[in-house]
Structure 1
Amino acid sequence: MPVAKGRSAGVLRSPCRHARTPLFRMRFLLAAVVATCSQLQLAFSAMPMVRARGTLARHGMARAAQGEGAAEVTVKSNRNSSNNNNKKRQELTALFKSDPVSFYHWRKFLQQKGLGPAASQDEEVVQEFLASAGTFDRFEIASAEVLADFEKAQKEYPAATWLWHTVAAREAFGVANRKAVPAKLLQDFLQAYHAGSLEQLELVGDELAAQLNTFRKTNGGGGKWDDFCDTQFGEGVAPKDPKIWPADLVRRFLAEQSA
C-alpha cells in the first residue's frame, strides 16, 4: 500500500487539528470556569429563598402559638370573671339571708338606677351595692305581735294577701316580705283592715284555678302566665299562686288566651 509522503505508516492524525494546542486548552478551561460560576450563582441565589421560607414558617408557627396562648388567656380570663361574678352573687344571697331588710334596700337601689331583678347577674352592679351595705338607712320592722295580727287577718280575709302585694308594689319597691319592710307600712295596712276599709275582692275559686293550671301545663302556657304576673306590679312581685288572685283578672287572662 502506498504511504503518503511525509507521514509515518500506521500513525493516524487527530480528527481535531487544534485539540492539543495551548489556545484550545485555554478556551476549554475558560468555558469550564464560566459554567461552574453560573452553577454557583444559581445555588447562592436559591439560598435566601429557602432561608426566607424557613423564617416565614417559623414566624407562622410562632404566630400560631401566640394565638393559641392568647385564646387560652381569654378563656382563663372569662372563667375568672365568671367565678368572681358567682362569688358576688353568693355574697348578695348570704346578705339577704342574714339581714332581710337588705333585700328592701336592694330593690330600692335597683329602682333608683332604673334596673330590674336581672341586674343581680351584673358583677359591677352587685359590687356597688355590696360596697354600700354599711350605709343603709335603718328603720323599725314589724314586731312579733304585728306579724301575728297580719296572719290572723289573712285567715279571716284571704284577699288581704293580694291587697298587701299591691301595697308592697306601690310603697315597698315590690318587697312583700313583712319582715323586711318598714313596720309602719304593715301597721297602716292592718289599721285599714280593722277599720273595714280594705277593698272587697272575689278571689279565684277551685274551678277557675284548675282551668288556669291546665293552661299553664300547655306548651308555653306557664311562660305566658309568668309574663302576665309581671305586668301587674313589675317583675317578680305578684304571687304565682292563682288562688291569691282576684277572679276577674284570671278570667280576663284566660279569655285573652282563647281569643
Structure 2
Amino acid sequence: MSSCSNERAQALQRGRLAARRRTTPFFVLIMVVAAVVGVAAILCLDGSQAFSLSPSVVPKVSARTTSLARLVLAAEGASAAAKPTLSGCRQDLQALCKTQPRVGYHFRKFLQEQGSTYQGYQLFKVPEATVQQFLALHARGALEQFEVASADALAKLDAVKDDDAFAYWQWHETIVQEAFGTKRPDGVPAQVVHKFLETFQAGGFERVDMGSDSQVAEVRAFQKTKGGSGHDIWREFCRSHRGQENNFDPKSWPAEHLRRFLDKSKAASSRRPARAKDLPLTKEGCLEEVLAKLVTSHVPVMPAPEVKARMQLLHADPAVFLIPDFWPKEACQRLINAANSSGEIRQSSITGQGIYAGEERQIRTSGSVVMKPEMARRYNAEDLVRRLIRDLVGTLGVGCAGAGQVSKLLTSEYPQVVRYERGQYFTDHEDAFAASKARVDNYQRRVTLLVYLNDVEKGGATRFPKLGFQVKPRQGQALLFFPSFANGRPDPRTLHSAEAAEDEKWIAQVWIGSPMPSHRR
C-alpha cells in the first residue's frame, strides 16, 4: 500500500475518532435524561393505581385497592420503606442534633412544654409546623444556654456504664426524669451527669438484679426464631419502655424484665388455639393435597416451610387455615393504637346487594377504619400495613406460582381494622361479592386474611355455620380462607359471622381480589 493511501486511511480514522468524541457526550446526555424521566415516572405512580393491569381490566373498585405486586415489591424493598423519609425541616433538625448535641435536649424540652412527647426514632411523627417553630427559636438564639459536662466527666460516665450493666440501665432511666429522655450525655446539662455519678458512687440508686447469662442467651436465641420476626418482637418490647427505646442489648436489662418477656414469649409459642367441640376432622387428605387443589379451584397458596409447619387445617373443602403466632403481640397492639389514635373509626359498612337504608346497623354493628397509606404513615403504622401484605403474599405465598412469582392480576384492598365493643356483632355474611355485582365492577374477592389483634375471653368467636365450627380470638393468630372460586363465583360454604363480643375485640383484615375471568386479557 502506498504512503499516500496510508496517510488517507490515517486521516479518515482520526476523523472518525473526533466525530465519536463529539457525539458521545450527546448520547450520554440523552441516556441520562431518559433514565431520570423514567425514574420520575415510576416515583409519580400513585399507590392506588393497579399498574399490573391494563386500563380495560382495572377494577371499578380500585379506589379501595392497590396493586398487590406493587405492595409486595415495596414490602420486600424495604425495611427502608418501613421507616418514613423525613421532610426538609426535619432533616435540618436531625443534622443539627448530630452536630450540636444540645439541640436535642432543647427540642425535647420544647415538645414537653407543649404537652407532647418525642422519641428519637419517631421524628417523622412530630408535626412539621412544630419543627419549623423550634428551628426559628434556635435561629434567633432564643433557647436557654447551659454548660455540658467536661470530657473527663463524660469519660468517667462511659467507664461506669461499661463496667456495670445496672449503671447503663439506670442512666437511661435517669435521663427520662432529668433530661427529657436526651440520649447523648454531651447534650445534657453538666449537673445531670455530675448528679448521676455522685448518686451512683454513693449507692443512692436502688439496685436491681440484672439479667443472668442464661436469660440473655435465651433472649438472643429467641431473636433468631419465628423466621426472623423474633428480632422485631424483642425490639418492640424494648421500645415500649420509655428511655430504653434504643437499649436492645439484653445484658443491659434487669432480670425481672427479661423474665417477663421470656414468659410471655413462651406462653405465646406454646398456646394452642381454641377449637370448638364440634370442629370436624379433615375429611380430604393432608395439607399438601389441599394446597395442591387450591391452585385450580381457588388461588395458589405456597407457604414458606416454617409457616407450613404451623398451619392448621380447620377444614379441607372449602379450605380454612388457622395460623398460630402469625403476628407478634407488639405489632398487634401498635395497630390497635394507630387505629384508636386516628379518630377515624366509623360505623362499619357492608357491600351486599339488597341492603336497605338503616339495615346495615342490624347486620353489622362494629366500627372500622381503612388503613390507607397516608393515614398509616401519619400514625406510625405504615410498616405494619406493608407487613400485612408482605406476610400474606410472601410468608403464606398467596397467589404465588413457580419461583415465587406473584400473579399480576391480583390486587389487594387496603387493610381494615375493626373494633367490636361489648355486644357488637356481624351476622352471617359472605366476603365475596354477588356474581352479578362482581361482573359489573369487574372485581371479585379471592382471599380473606383475618388477624386477631387481641385475646377475647368471652364471646367474639368467628363462626362458620355451614362448616360446623368456630374459632376463638387469640392475639396474633390468623384465619385464611377463600370466599370465591377461580371462576369468580362466590363460594357460599364460607358463610361466616362474628359472634357478639362480651369483651372488646379487635381484628385486622385484608382481602385480595382480581378481575372477573371474562374480562381478563
TM-score by length of 1: 0.61
Q: 2:217 aligns with which of 205, 210, 215?
A: 210
User: Would you say the 8 A contact 2:108–2:117 is kept in 1?
Assistant: no
The equivalent position to 2:180 in structure 1, one of 165, 169, 173, is 173
Q: Which residue of 2 aligns with 1:190?
A: 197
Is 1:175–1:237's contact at 8 Å kept on the other side of the alignment? no
* Residue 141 of structure 1 pairs with residue 148 of structure 2: yes
Q: What is the 5 A alignment of 1:1-259?
A: 86-113=87-114, 114-117=116-119, 118-121=122-125, 122-133=127-138, 134-219=141-226, 220-233=229-242, 237=245, 239-259=247-267
For 1:119 and 1:145, locate their aligned partners in 2 and report how far apart those are by CA, in whole Å: 31
The separation in 1 between residues aligned to 2:234 and 2:148, in whole angstroms, is: 33
Could you say which structure has the higher helix fraction?
A: 1
User: How many residue pairs were aligned?
Assistant: 178
Label 1:256 to 1:154 Cα distance change in 2 as closer, same or farther (>3 A).
same
Give 1 or 2 for the bigger CA radius of gyration: 1
> Is residue 96–residue 103 contact of structure 1 (8 Å, CA) maintained in 2?
yes
- Given residue 185 of structure 1, which amino acid in structure 2 is its aligned partner? V
Give deviations 1:171-227, integer Å, cap 9, x for gaps.
Answer: 211113110111111111111122122332322233322211222233432333223
Measured in 2, the distance between the counterparts of 1:110 and 1:154 equals: 28
Among the aligned pairs, what percent are the same residue?
37
Query: Take 1:160 and 1:248, find their aligned partners in 2: how far apart are those partners?
Result: 16
Q: Secondary structure at the match of 1:209?
A: helix
For the residues of structure 2 that align with 1:151 and 1:119, how far apart are their CA atoms?
26
**Are the structure 2 counterparts of residues 204 and 233 from structure 1 closer, same or farther at C-alpha, using a change threshold of 3 Å?**
same
Aligned to 2:15: none
Match of 1:39 in 2: none
The letter for the 1-side match of 2:192 is L
Instruction: Give 1:164 shift.
Output: 0.6
CA gap 1:200/1:119 in 2 versus in 1, 3 angstroms: closer
Question: Is contact 1:215–1:222 with CA below 8 Å preserved after alignment?
Answer: yes
Contact 1:120/1:126, CA 8 A, preserved across alignment: no
Q: Which amino acid aligns with 1:188?
A: K
SS of aligned partner of 1:150: helix
In the alignment, the residues of structure 1 paired with residue 165 and residue 86 of structure 2 have an alpha-carbon distance, to the nearest angstrom, of 40
CA distance in 1, matches of 2:104, 2:235: 22
CA distance in 2 between partners of 1:163 and 1:169 (Å) = 10
Would the aligned equivalents of 2:108 and 2:181 in 1 still touch at CA under 8 Å? yes
TM, length-normalised to structure 2 = 0.32
TM-aligned CA deviation for residue 248 of structure 1: 1.6
Which structure 1 residue ranges, 5 or more long, are not aligned? 1-74, 76-83
* Preserved contact between residue 169 and residue 237 of structure 1 (Cα < 8 Å): no
Measure, in 1, the Cα distance between the counterparts of 2:90 and 2:242: 25
Could you tell me which amino acid in structure 1 is paired with residue 199 of structure 2?
Answer: A
Q: Deviations over 1:98-119 (max 9, x none)?
A: 2101011112222233143434
Q: Conserved in 2, the CA contact under 8 Å of 1:232 and 1:238?
A: no
User: What is the CA–CA distance in structure 1 between the aligned matches of 2:205 and 2:134, rounded to whole Å?
Assistant: 36
| Alpha-carbon distance in 2 for matches of 1:216, 1:154 | 24
Distance in 2 separating the partners of 1:97 and 1:156? 26
Where 1:232 maps in the other structure, the secondary structure is coil
Kindly state the Cα deviation for residue 155 of structure 1 after the two structures are TM-superposed: 4.1
Structure 2 distance, partners of 1:141, 1:237, is 23
Give the CA deviation at 1:256: 1.3
Offset of residue 144 of structure 1: 1.3
